[in-house]
Amino acid sequence: MLWNYRGYGRTKGTPSPMSLKKDGEAVIAHLRKHFKAQKLGCHGESLGGAVAAHLAKTCNLDFLYADRSFWSLVDVAKLNFGTFPFLVLYLITWWKCDAAWDFIFTKCYKVISSDP
């Protein structure tokens, strides 16, 4: 199943890490309730990797594939552009999430991919 983030495509709302995670939880709940899904996995690319790691840990998924994801979007800004852009992005969005901890502490099969 694929879904758009809030505010993308025909969906309404504004994306944020917390809202994207809550939307993913709703999708998992829908699949389990209406389709009686017994085994579920999640693939997330880039920002989706943080959402997928959260879902794997929180919703007890069976498989996680974090595809070219990152620990934190604001940390990417800090490493690539310096402290000032990091602070500006963080203060504007509050998009600080530790996806790596979700990845590490989930108890399912995990795959992580990256490229240079």
Say what the pLDDT of residue 109 is: 97
pLDDT band at 96 (very low <50, low <70, confident <90, very high): low
Q: How far apart are CA 60 and CA 40, in angstroms?
A: 9
Say what the pLDDT of residue 78 is: 81
The answer to whether residue 101 scores a pLDDT higher than 80 is yes
Residue bearing tokens 């998992």 = 28
Q: How far apart are CA 5 and CA 18, in angstroms?
A: 11
Q: What is the pLDDT of residues 37-50, one digit of tens each?
A: 999 999 999 889 99
Separation of first and last alpha carbons in the chain: 29
The token pair that represents 78 in the structure block: 């800090």
